[in-house]
Chains A and B, each alone.
Chain A
Amino acid sequence: MKFADFVIREAIRTDLKAEDKPGVIREMVKSLEEAGGIDPAESESIIKAILKREELGSTGIGRGVAVPHTKHPSVTRLIGTVGISQEGVDFDSLDGEKVHLFFLVISPPDRPGDHLRALENISLKLRNETFCRFLKQSKTTEDVVQLLEEADNNQFNS
């Protein structure tokens, strides 16, 4: 699975304002709503589901990256967005590091394989330190889109 298969460009944010976990999740779900990626009537339900998932264990995966996610019946295909916090947010990660880079993913309940493939792709690409660092340093949506395209074209080897 490639980033282009699930990342909604219009929902990418390189200037997340939120300073805590619930705030970041809300800000990113709202960006998906504004981009037309999700039904506005379902936003609150999605935010709640993602927060509930966080209670089971942080989705901070190390290297300053987190992948908040949920399954939700309101989406028909796997969708996601990218958020960058310049300040970093405490996300209760296993390694204790602040998170600067977020991939928020929502998947239909009946497609666990897609969900796993998306997480695999994100992790595999972010193992490349250059890619991970460049993404965190991105200042505009265009920067992010270009980096994701380059990663999709295997220009970063892990």
Chain B
Amino acid sequence: MDGSLEEQPRASRQVRIVNPEGMHLRAVSLLIQLARRFQCSIWVSNHNLRADAKTTPLELLALGAQPGDQLTIEALGPDAQEAVEAIARLIENRFEEWSAEV
């Protein structure tokens, strides 16, 4: 049964957008770069839309995540828990505070 899909660790967490500019392009680019460091598959959802966090900025921008929106981060794979925590932290830390300059 080793390595079968059902055996893969899963993780998910909800996190609220707190930076005043929402999930703009630089925020999205940073999120993708972070997501790509992990082995697991990662998705971000807002309202009824779900985006692969490792693909293109276009997918994540389409979520239109505004301040106050509650996002769901989901991951599937060996480092799922770690990935979900790291991405939630990035969002909670206001994408490193550099949003005001964009």
Contact = CB atoms under 8 A, between A and B. Distances in A.
Interface of A: 53, 56-57, 59, 61-63, 65, 67, 69, 71, 94-95, 112-113, 115-117, 119-120, 122-124, 126-127, 158
A57 B29 contact: yes
User: What is the interface of chain B mostly: helix, strand, loop, or mixed?
Assistant: loop
Interface of B: 20-26, 29, 32, 55-59, 61-64, 66, 101-102
B32 A123 contact: no
Contact of A120 (B26, B56, B61, B101): B61
A119 B55 contact: no
Given A62-B56, A112-B20, A112-B21, A119 B29 contact: no
B24 A115 contact: yes
Given A61-B61, A120-B64, A126-B58, A94 B21 contact: no
Given A57-B26, A112-B20, A116-B22, A127 B66 contact: no
Contact of A62 (B20, B21, B58, B63): B58
B63 A120 contact: yes
Contacts of A62: 55-59
A112 B64 CA distance: 12
A85 to B, nearest CB: 18
B25 A61 contact: yes
A120 B62 contact: yes
B22 A112 contact: yes
Contact of A127 (B24, B25, B58, B101): B58
Contacts of A65: 58
B26 A94 contact: no
A56 B56 CA distance: 17
A143 B22 CA distance: 33
A110 B32 CA distance: 27
Name the residue in B23, B24, B32, B61 with the highest tally of chain A Cβ atoms < 10 Å from its Cβ: B61
A31 B97 CA distance: 34
Nearest to B46: A120
A61 to B, nearest CB: 4
B102 A63 contact: no
A61 B56 CA distance: 6
A117 B20 CA distance: 14
Contacts of A122: 61
